[in-house]
Amino acid sequence: MGAIIWGTSGKHVTSAQNRTILICSGKGGVGKTTLTANLGIALAKQGARTAVLDADFGLRNLDLLLGLENRIVYTAQEVLSGSCRLEQALVKHKQEPNLSLLPAGNPRMLEWLTPDDMKKIAGLLAEQFDYVLIDCPAGIEDGFKNAAAACREAIVVTTPEVSAVRDADRVIGLLQTREIEPIQLVLNRVRPRMMANQEMLSVSDVTDILALPLLGLVLEDDQVIISTNRGEPLTLNGTRSPAGQAYTNVARRLRGEEVPLADPTKEGQGLRAKLGRLMHTKIF
């Protein structure tokens, strides 16, 4: 029932010039920041000059996930006020120099930041980078509106849960009224076994409602928690964890490569996949 748009060519936009992409979800905790960090690293590894901008000023943690917290000197706030240049505020990733982070300023920025400020920052980044990923705050209030004003396309992250899908649907509606195009979907934290037992919304349940091209399926993976705590995104050192591979594939599809989507109900059930995962499981 219903057509799942498996990642076929032509569905994903491939234009080369700067792409400023909003990464949003509506609901919190579905994996926006994780996707931003991993996608940023993966794009940079594939040779694209990439900037990630933390637009979640209230509850910033993109810097944490990238392991760059202790290197921040200036933030977007100083860039806007003119007290430093953009280059000074950008934090280059220690292992992946193609990736830079523009950190969020202090939470009080929320009080005065306007959509025009965000446009200005994004415009500055667009001059220097191929990809600008904007990590959007949860919710649909001012933080979301500011971030959306600066973007031309969007990736909506959701999990196969009714509440996350409902919020994603609302956000997609708001993005469409802003004529943000294309909007693509990443389905996060998929549990194949629960899907097979029909205890979780299936991929087609989600795509039926949201009606967006599917950019990627990311399996639930314990490694994500470990990598978050370490500040080393999964895509960084080529781990063969299922989630890390999924994020790398999202990046490849975003760049226009044709990478088939795996069927989650058949994913990782072979003995080889299980052994392989055991071999590559990292423990602190």
Partner 1 sequence: MAAEFVPAARSGLSHQLLLPAAGPEAAPLPKQVSRGLHGVISYGELLLQSGDWLLTVADLRGLERQLAAHRLELVGVEGRQALTLVAAAAIGLATHLQQSSGPGPSPDSHNSPDLVIQRGTLRSGDHLQVEGTALVLGDVNPGARVSAGGHVLVWGRLRGVAHAGCHGDPSARIVALQLRPLQLRIAEVIARGPEDSPPQGFCEQAHLVEGMIRIDPAEPGWPPFSG
Interface residues toward partner 1, by CB under 8 A: 1, 166-167, 169-170, 172-173, 176, 208-209, 211
Q: Minimum distance from CB of 169 to partner 1 (Å)?
A: 4
Contact 89, 79 (CB under 8 A): yes
Cβ closer to partner 1: 53 or 164? 164
Q: Minimum distance from CB of 218 to partner 1 (Å)?
A: 23
Cβ closer to partner 1: 41 or 172? 172
Q: Minimum distance from CB of 173 to partner 1 (Å)?
A: 3
Cβ closer to partner 1: 166 or 240? 166
| Edge-to-edge order in the sheet of strand 50-54 | 91-92, 99-102, 50-54, 131-135, 19-24, 153-158, 183-190, 214-219
Q: Minimum distance from CB of 13 to partner 1 (Å)?
A: 20
Q: Minimum distance from CB of 1 to partner 1 (Å)?
A: 8
Cβ closer to partner 1: 172 or 186? 172
Cβ closer to partner 1: 101 or 156? 156
